[in-house]
Homo-oligomer: A and B are copies of this chain.
Amino acid sequence: MSQPATVADVAAVAGVSRQTVSNALNRPEVVRPDTLDRVRSAIETLGYRPHASARRLRTRQSSTLGVRLEPVHGISGAVLDRFLHALVEHADARGMRILLFTARDVDDELTHIERLVEGSDVDGFVLTSTFHGDPRPGWLADRDVPFVLFGRPWGQSAERAEVLPWVDVDGRAGLRAATAHLLEAGYRRIGFLGWPSPSGQGDERRHGWQDALAAAGLPDQVQLVCEDDVSAATEVVTRAVADGAAVDAVVCASDTLALGARFALGPDVPVVGYDDTPVAEALGISSVEQPLGDAAAAALDLLMGTGRSVLPAPTGHRLLEPTVVWRP
């Protein structure tokens, strides 16, 4: 197969500079008419296709995926940024680009999505931060717009959840592994510090802790609940200990909570967080690490199969195993 013609080829055939070709394409009014004719003739002869928009118009493909960039909050906020980095890398390897948009809330997000769909600006979407009652999967599915979720379709009906394409990390397995490891190391009073229920991710992580305790025959341990805030977590743990709660280790739903637990308990009580943030690393706090590169690759696998364009109706799901980073 011959290579597509380039600006340099056009310049050579027309006997002009690359800049002149560029001017002929972009600012024809500054090019002399006879030169313009030569360039246009060279373009036609070579079948040069100057503009990606024209190519996309023919193929009806943008080779672009839309992703909402969410505000970053707190210690774990950058996890979605790390997923985005991995997504851009893996998308690039498949000839796809990422178009970012921002939204105030989910309604505003749907407005943006609708505009991008109507403009054929993207071939599909990667949706992050799924939640109970999330209207986006249904909206997109109803309109045959391809998408994949990073996060499970929490709270969707079983029928719908069955056919929705999603990738997620198994937080339950992560907390189960962390708790089992602490049990093997001899800890017996392993508490859990999590978020108020219902929380899709938070409840999964709590179940992982419960799984390991049940398997070890130690079901009833201290369970604390707190918003995702360092000071609040410090206070909740400090008060629980003052009230007589017995813990010799604590596994947590986030690094933010783990940091609070560390401040409350000191460095001698093992604490495990979630997301392996720079804060956990800096303070030597163990943490569950999500395989974000694998998650990004899996999202593109579901969306594109083995090909180089987005499938009309992606389906299937992948639940990835996290690993625990033990410190020190």
Q: Contact: A53 with B64, CB < 8 Å? A: no
Q: Contact: A52 with B119, CB < 8 Å? A: yes
Q: How many copies does the complex hold?
A: 2
Q: Which of A96-104, A152-160, A188-196 lies on the face that meets chain B?
A: A96-104
Bitwise, A41-64 to B at CB < 8 A (1) or not (0) is 001100000111111111010101
Q: Contact: B75 with A78, CB < 8 Å? A: no
Q: Contact: A25 with B99, CB < 8 Å? A: no
Cβ < 8 Å to B, chain A residues 234-284 = 259, 277-279, 282-283
**Of B30, B118, B144, which one neighbours A44 at CB under 8 angstroms?**
B30
Knowing A25-B57, A44-B29, say if A92 contacts B97 (CB, 8 Å).
no
Q: Contact: B50 with A57, CB < 8 Å? A: yes
How far apart are A296's CB and chain B's nearest CB, in angstroms? Answer: 12
> A279 vs B283: C-alpha distance in the bound complex, in angstroms?
9
Q: Contact: B102 with A88, CB < 8 Å? A: yes
Q: Contact: B72 with A85, CB < 8 Å? A: yes
Q: Is A143 in contact with chain B by the CB < 8 A criterion?
A: yes
Q: Is A7 in contact with chain B by the CB < 8 A criterion?
A: yes
**Of B25, B27, B97, B118, which one neighbours A100 at CB under 8 angstroms?**
B97
**Of B27, B88, B102, which one neighbours A69 at CB under 8 angstroms?**
B88
How far apart are A172's CB and chain B's nearest CB, in angstroms? Answer: 26
Q: Contact: B100 with A98, CB < 8 Å? A: yes
Q: Contact: B99 with A99, CB < 8 Å? A: yes
Q: What are 17 A-B pairs at a CB distance below 8 A?
A: A22-B58, A51-B119, A51-B120, A52-B53, A52-B119, A53-B54, A53-B119, A57-B57, A64-B99, A71-B85, A72-B78, A77-B278, A88-B102, A92-B101, A97-B121, A98-B99, A279-B279
Q: Which A residues contact B (CB, under 8 angstroms)?
A: 6-7, 19, 22, 25-27, 29-30, 40, 43-44, 50-58, 60, 62, 64, 69, 71-72, 74-75, 77-78, 81-82, 84-85, 88-89, 92, 97-102, 118-121, 143-144, 230, 259, 277-279, 282-283
